[in-house]
Amino acid sequence: MIELRDKSFDGFIAKGTSLIMFGTCWCQACILGAKRLEKFRQKNHIKVAKVDLQMCPEVMKRYLCAKVPFFILFRDGEVIARHQGNDIRGFEKYLKGGRNDPDPP
C-alpha cells in the first residue's frame, strides 16, 4: 500500500479518483481499515493510499482529521466524500451512483 507524506500528497490526489485513509500506525482500527482499503482497491480499481497523521502534520491540519481512521474520496484533487470509521462499503455505493452515499464533503 502506498504511504503518502506531506510532499507527495497533492500530486497523488491531483488526477483521477483516489480514496485516502488517514490514520496512525499504532491504531488497531486503522490497521483493519488498511486491510479493507486494499480489498476495496482490488474490487474497484481506483487509487488508494494511506497517510500516517503523525508523519504528515500539514495534511492533518488541512483536512481536520481528529479521529481515526478517517477516509476521504477525492476526484481530481477535490474532496467528494468523507467518512469516519473503517466501514468503507458506502464508498462502493457512492462510486456506483447509489443513494447511500458516505458523509458529504
CATH of the domain at 77: 3.40.30.10
Pairing state between β 17-23 and 78-84: unpaired
Q: Which helix (H) or strand (E) holds 79?
A: strand 78-84
**Is the pLDDT reported for residue 45 higher than 50?**
yes
Q: Which of 21-35, 68-82, 91-105 has the lowest mean pLDDT?
A: 91-105
Residue 66 scores a pLDDT above 50: yes
pLDDT of the residue at 105 = 46
Sequence-distant (≥ 6) Cβ neighbours of residue 33 within 8 angstroms: 21, 23, 69, 71, 86, 88
* CA-based end-to-end distance of the chain: 25
When divided into structural domains, the chain yields a total of 1
Residue whose entry in the numeric block shows the C-alpha cell 494511506? 50
Domain that holds residue 77: 3-95
Domain membership of residue 18 (yes or no) is yes
Instruction: State residue 48's pLDDT score.
Output: 94
Estimate the share of the chain in helix, then strand, then coil, as percent rounded to the nearest 5.
35, 30, 35
pTM of the model: 0.86
